[in-house]
Amino acid sequence: MLTYEPGDSFAHRLDPRTKLAVQISFAAAGLAHTTPVGLTALGVVAAVSLRAANTSPVSALYAIRYAVPFLVVGPVVEAARLGAPWFDPSAAVDPALASIRVLLVFLVAAAYVRTTPIRESRAAIQRLVPGRFGVALGVGVALVFRFLPLVRRDLLRVREAQAARLGQTRRLDERLSLVAAGGLRRAFARADSLTLALRARCFAWNPTLPELRFSRCDAPVLTLAVSLLVSVFL
């Protein structure tokens, strides 16, 4: 799973609000431009984003490897037929373009996650969304980024424990139920520990967040975000 890694890449030096603007405008452009030409242009933007974040496309794809099979199977299922002709390639074109669009959005998001600390993401959201709702949204995003890697690690430990006890000899449904039950127990236990930790640290709605500043590096990236949004309406 992709997580933040300290570095000195171009994307690391950008303001998190700039990177959020690029993500939002890129997703909007992906919904608007569904032709092969449009997706090719967006693919170039995604490749540049990964290069700016010093992130390998292979590592980004590996991080989302669980979603890739669904993106591949979707067009195949859409093109399959119960009778002759058994497979209609033309029916798979639109679903394939949709899968590519989703994959490109994932890659741009991977560049953001790799180069943005959680505290800066929370600060950016709270500055962009005013009021108590923005604070709650920022806290929620921060907790999700911190909580998901722990849940995934717990599930891997449950699987390893089952393997050590010859769990592979059980039926598939039994293995899935045991892993799911163990993962849920650990997730609820971590949620209780998180609640206690927040109380012990006197959780407040107005914490001291890192200072955010735009720099010269943000100017061309903000221009890119604006251009993507403008292209949606053209």
Give the residue, 64 or 36, on which the prediction is more confident. Answer: 36
DSSP string of 20-66, one letter each residue: HHHHHHHHHHHHH--SHHHHHHHHHHHHHHHHHTT--HHHHHHHTTT
Residue 1 pLDDT > 60: no
What is residue 210's three-state secondary structure? coil
Q: How many residues appear in the chain? A: 234
Question: Which two structure tokens, joined as six digits, stand for 233?
Answer: 């309406």
Per-residue confidence band for 104, with pLDDT thresholds at 50, 70 and 90: very high
Per domain, the residue ranges of the chain are 16-117+211-233, 131-200
pTM of this structure: 0.74
pLDDT band at 52 (very low <50, low <70, confident <90, very high): very high
- The Cα 217–Cα 74 span in angstroms is 39
Task: Provide the pLDDT confidence category of residue 153 given band limits of 50, 70 and 90.
Answer: confident
Which range among 9-23, 41-55, 74-88, 199-213 shows the weakest confidence by mean pLDDT? 199-213
**Tokens (6 digits) for 203:** 């959780």
Q: What angle do CA 216, 218, 221 make, to 5 degrees?
A: 130
Q: What share of the chain is helix, strand, coil (3-state, %, to 5)?
A: 75, 0, 25
Q: What is the mean pLDDT of residues 170-189?
A: 78
Give the amino acid at 44: V
Task: Tell me the per-residue pLDDT of 59-70, one tens digit each, with 9 for 90 and over.
Answer: 888 888 878 888
Q: Cα dist. 179→11, 176, 182, 190 in Å?
A: 38, 5, 5, 16
Which is more confident, 31 or 174? 31
Q: How many CA atoms does the CB half-sphere of 57 hold within 13 Å?
A: 11
> What string of DSSP letters covers 158-209?
HHHHHHHTTGGGS-HHHHHHHHHHHHHHHHHHHHHHHHHHHHHTT--SS--P
d(CA 181, CA 198): 26
pLDDT in tens, 183-215: 788 777 877 777 777 677 666 656 677 788 888
Output the six-digit token pair for 193: 């520990």
Q: 35 falls in which pLDDT band (50, 70, 90)?
A: confident
